[in-house]
Amino acid sequence: MLNQFKSDNEEKKAKKSKAVELSHFLEGGLYDFDDDLRAIFKTSKRHSPIIEGLNFKNEVHNPFKIDNDKAKQFAGHIMWFCSNGDIKLFSDSETLTLCCNQDNYLRKINHYNYFSAFFSIPEIIDRDNRNNRLIENFIAFENKRDQDDDLILRTIYEDYTNYFTSLNRRSMVNYRTMDELLTTSLNTTHLNYSPLNF
């Protein structure tokens, strides 16, 4: 139990330090953590749908201040620590992704370039290749209503149908029978092959 407390405390210090380091991407004000240390958020945004599902059972929190003395490059108010090492910052209109390495950055761009033709995904509106940063349009969260079910299911069905249809058209797979393979293979010259020999 004591080791877990020390580990959590060290993780909290490291993430708080990261927030201070990246304060030029955050609005000034008081910030706090969820209990699992997945996100840092401005205390005025505690009920944002972005962090609504996180664990907030622990009542003992130690808010810390992000000063507004640095020139701001982004007006974030929620910082999300991704499991792959990336950091996402959310403002009211945009999402900034700070990729932890160039592979993650290029993978995100490649995924966007490929999948945006088939699925409704947030548009990448700015790229910083030197610093592995992306800015996407922020998609506001809305609570789902029962009458939305039909639209949601139809959209999912149509998007995936278009995607898989396109894959099928682009496929380089050539289906051939075993007889065709044996008659055209250079490795079967020593066989006296005839379908009747089997």
Q: Dump pLDDT digits (tens) for 96-127.
A: 999 999 999 999 999 999 999 999 899 999 99
Same domain, 63 and 103: yes
CA angle 27, 33, 39 (to 5 degrees): 75
Look at residues 120, 137, 154 and tell me which one is the last residue of a structural domain: 137
* Tokens coding 146: 């029962």
The residue written with tokens 């396109």 in the block is 166
Q: Say what the pLDDT of residue 145 is.
A: 86
Look at residues 93, 114, 137 and tell me which one is the last residue of a structural domain: 137
Q: Say what the pLDDT of residue 81 is.
A: 96
Q: Say what the pLDDT of residue 198 is.
A: 47
Same domain, 169 and 132: no
Res 11 pLDDT > 90: no
DSSP state of 23: G
Same domain, 155 and 118: no
| pLDDT, mean of residues 58-78 | 82
Flag the least confident range among 47-61, 126-140, 153-167. 47-61
What's the total number of domains in the chain? 2
| pLDDT, mean of residues 83-98 | 96
Distances (CA, A) of 134 to 4, 23, 105, 126: 34, 17, 8, 6
Q: What is the dihedral of CA 153, 154, 156, 160, to 10 degrees?
A: 140
Res 194 pLDDT > 50: yes
Look at residues 137, 160, 181 and tell me which one is the last residue of a structural domain: 137
pLDDT tier for residue 72 given thresholds of 50, 70 and 90:
confident
Same domain, 98 and 161: no
Same domain, 130 and 158: no
Contact between 98 and 89 under an 8 Å Cβ cutoff? The reply is yes
Tell me what the pLDDT averaged over the chain comes to: 85
Same domain, 132 and 152: no
Res 76 pLDDT > 80: yes
Supply the pTM of this predicted model.
Answer: 0.77
Same domain, 77 and 28: yes
Same domain, 128 and 150: no
Same domain, 121 and 156: no
Same domain, 151 and 133: no
Same domain, 127 and 38: yes
As a whole number of angstroms, the distance between CA 95 and CA 125 comes to 10
For the chain, what percent of residues have pLDDT higher than 70? Answer: 82
Same domain, 163 and 181: yes
Residue 188 sits in which domain range?
146-197
| pLDDT, mean of residues 168-186 | 67
Q: Say what the pLDDT of residue 174 is.
A: 61
